[in-house]
Each structure stands twice: as C-alpha cells, then as structure tokens.
Amino acid sequence: MATTFAKAAEKSAPATHAARIGHVSKSFPGPSGQQLVLDDITLDVAPGEFVTLLGASGCGKSTLLNLVAGLDSPSEGTIETPGGRPALMFQEHALFPWLTAGKNIELALRLRGVPRQERGDRAEELLDLVRLSGAYGKRVHELSGGMRQRVALARALAQDSQLLLMDEPFAALDAITRDVLHDELTRVWRETRLSVLFVTHNVREAVRLAERVVLLSSRPGRVAREWTVDIPQPRRIEDSAVAELSVEITEQLRGEIRRHGQR
Ligand SMILES: Nc1ncnc2c1ncn2[C@@H]1O[C@H](COP(=O)(O)OP(=O)(O)OP(=O)(O)O)[C@@H](O)[C@H]1O
Ligand SMILES: [Mg+2]
C-alpha cells in the first residue's frame, strides 16, 4: 500500500526531464583491451521535446539509445528515465509475422496490462492515429514497408510510454515514403506530446524532425555540438531553412568523419 502511494506521488510530481544522461561512458571488450565507444556523454531530453542524435556510422548512436532503453548498462555515469521504461522503434519493424497488425499492437497492450476487453478498441484507435484504419486484420506480409513501420509506431505508442526512442526507423524506406512518415511522426508527436530521441545519420532528416540536433563525434562518441532548430513545424525536407541548416551541420559532420577516417 505504501509503495502504491509512493508511486502515485512520484507520478504526480512534474518531471523536469524525460531522459537524463549524466556523464555516461561505455566500453566494450576489444581485441586489444577495452574499447571506449562513448565518452562522458551528458544530455537531457525535456518532457515533450524532440531531439535527434546525429553522427557517423559506428560513432555509438545505437549504443547510447540501447543504454537509455535499459537494454545495456553504462560503464560509467547514470541514466534516468523518470517516466518509466521507454518505448523503442528500430529500422527493422520487428513485428511478429504470424500475427495480424491489430494483434501485434494488442500484444503490446497485453504486456502493459490493458484488460482483454479494451485491447481491440485501443488497437483500432492506435491504427487510426497512424492512419492505418482498416489494417487491423492484415498480416505483416500483406503490408508495404511504410505500412509496417506505421504498425511498428502504433505498437510503440501502445506501450503508453512518455519517451519514444527511435533508431533509424525510416532508413530502409524510399524517399517519398520516408517523407510521408516524417509528416506522420511530426503529427503524432504533436498530438501525443511524447518526448522523442531519434537516431539518424541523415542530416536533412535530423533537421526536418527535431527541435534540437545533437551531433556526436566518433571514436569515442562525444557530444561535439548541438543546434536548436527554430524552423516552424510543419516543415518540408526541401524548405530552404532546412537546407541551410543541413549544410552547416553536414560541414561539421564531415569534419568529424575526416578526423576519424571513416566513410
Ligand atoms: N555489444 C557490443 N560489443 C562490442 N562492441 C560493440 C557492441 N555494440 C557496439 N559495439 C561497437 O561500438 C561501436 C559503436 O556501435 P553503434 O552500433 O553504437 O554505432 P552507430 O553509431 O549506431 O552506427 P550505425 O550508424 O552504423 O548504426 C562500434 O565500433 C561497434 O562495433
Ligand atoms: Mg546504429
């Protein structure tokens, strides 16, 4: 009883951040001893904020996201997600192919403890939210790549988490589908007021989506620089303001890549 009350009190206190990454370092065992992948990363995501994490391939973006997700532990430093376990979405949709779109979402609802009689309606609502009404009974192989990522987004939203972690979720899609999903994600984010930490190595995508872009250096990954994106939403990827800021960020990213001899 006391625990329940403490939890309720905790929930009602306004959180100052959705995620707090404090002086986080991460090393993995390598052929010549421990390899430092992330070095002293400090970063907050505010409630309702949309942050993109940008960096060259191999700089540690997924490693950092996995730490925030609680899938791995930092070697040093602390990670707090006061709103509870974050929802996750990857490049691969990771839907169960033997379940329909609706049942994939219902599974997430069941794991969250939503009563059976409410799950069907809630799954339909979530499919509406990602503009997939009518897809409830469709199996994964009947859906296009873009539709699968919409279902994956609906399933992530089914977790009712305050923080959504996304690791290059649109990287495998063609440019037009990706563009449509950028619009959808922006709309869903504004409607739900979720906090989003979105990983990408696509500069335009980072600027198109985020309120703040954080650039990581490579080997080891450190916060190299960050930009507040003041361009009003909804934005288009071809907007001149998006292009202008992208050019500036790309220059910095190129500098990081040159410094560390990556592609
Ligand atoms: N579990 C692990 N064990 C050992 N090394 C790892 C592990 N996970 C990641 N690494 C190493 O950490 C570095 C960063 O990997 P990570 O996957 O985080 O990069 P990334 O920035 O997400 O790259 P990409 O843009 O290609 O997805 C790489 O050198 C990788 O080999
Ligand atoms: Mg990655």
Gap from CA of 85 to ligand 1 centroid (Å): 22
Given this model, what pLDDT does residue 205 score? 96
Does a structural domain hold residue 216?
Answer: yes
Residue 77 has pLDDT above 90, yes or no: yes
Gap from CA of 11 to ligand 1 centroid (Å): 34
pLDDT in tens, 6-27: 444 445 566 789 999 999 999 9
- In 3D space, the residue among 66, 74, 10, 13 whose CA is nearest the CA of residue 42 turns out to be 74
Given this model, what pLDDT does residue 150 score? 93
Same domain for 136 and 177, yes or no, is no
Residue 5 has pLDDT above 50, yes or no: no
Atom number in ligand 1 closest to CA 59:
21
Pocket test for ligand 1, best of 28, 88, 90, 215 (most atoms within 8 A of CB): 28
Residue 78 has pLDDT above 90, yes or no: yes
For residue 145, give its domain range: 93-160
Same domain for 204 and 244, yes or no, is yes
Pocket test for ligand 1, best of 24, 35, 37 (most atoms within 8 A of CB): 37
Given this model, what pLDDT does residue 7 score? 45
Atom number in ligand 1 closest to CA 29:
4
Residue 134 tokens read as 């009518």
Given this model, what pLDDT does residue 90 score? 87
160, amino acid identity: D
Given this model, what pLDDT does residue 6 score? 42
Q: What average pLDDT does this structure show over 110-139?
A: 94
Same domain for 74 and 198, yes or no, is yes
Given this model, what pLDDT does residue 91 score? 84
Does a structural domain hold residue 4?
Answer: no
Query: What's the full length of the chain, in residues?
Result: 263
Atom number in ligand 1 closest to CA 199:
22
Domain-ending residue, one of 103, 135, 160: 160
- In 3D space, the residue among 155, 197, 152 whose CA is nearest the CA of residue 172 turns out to be 152
Q: Where are the alpha helices (DSSP H) in 161-239?
A: 175-192, 203-209
Instruction: For residue 13, give the DSSP letter.
Output: S
Order the strands of the 223-228 sheet from edge to edge. Answer: 87-89, 163-167, 195-200, 50-54, 212-216, 223-228
Given this model, what pLDDT does residue 246 score? 97
Same domain for 134 and 179, yes or no, is no
Residue 248 tokens read as 């500036």
Given this model, what pLDDT does residue 261 score? 56
CA-CA distances (angstroms) from residue 234 to 5, 22, 50, 74? 41, 32, 13, 36
Contacts of 42 (CB under 8 A, 6+ apart): 21, 22, 23, 24, 77, 223
Q: Beta strands 195-200 and 50-54: pairing type?
A: parallel
Number of H helices, E strands in the chain: 8, 9
Domain-ending residue, one of 138, 160, 182: 160
Gap from CA of 61 to ligand 1 centroid (Å): 8
Number of domains comprising the chain: 2
Same domain for 48 and 145, yes or no, is no
Task: Supply the residue whose CA is at minimum distance from atom 18 of ligand 1.
Answer: 60
- Which ligand has an atom closest to residue 90 CA? 2
Q: What average pLDDT does this structure show over 224-253?
A: 95
Atom number in ligand 1 closest to CA 63:
18
Q: Ligand 1: which residues within 6 Å by Cβ?
A: 28, 37, 55, 57-63, 201
Residue 176 tokens read as 């037009």
Q: CA 8 to CA 168: how far, in whole Å?
A: 34
pLDDT in tens, 122-135: 999 999 999 999 99
CB atoms within 10 A of CB 22: 15
Given this model, what pLDDT does residue 101 score? 96
Does a structural domain hold residue 36?
Answer: yes
Q: CA 143 to CA 173: how far, in whole Å?
A: 13
Residue 39 has pLDDT above 60, yes or no: yes
What does the mean pLDDT of the chain come to? 91
- Which ligand has an atom closest to residue 260 CA? 1
Residue 263 has pLDDT above 60, yes or no: no
Domain-ending residue, one of 160, 180, 205: 160
- In 3D space, the residue among 40, 36, 143 whose CA is nearest the CA of residue 100 turns out to be 143
Same domain for 29 and 101, yes or no, is no
Given this model, what pLDDT does residue 4 score? 39
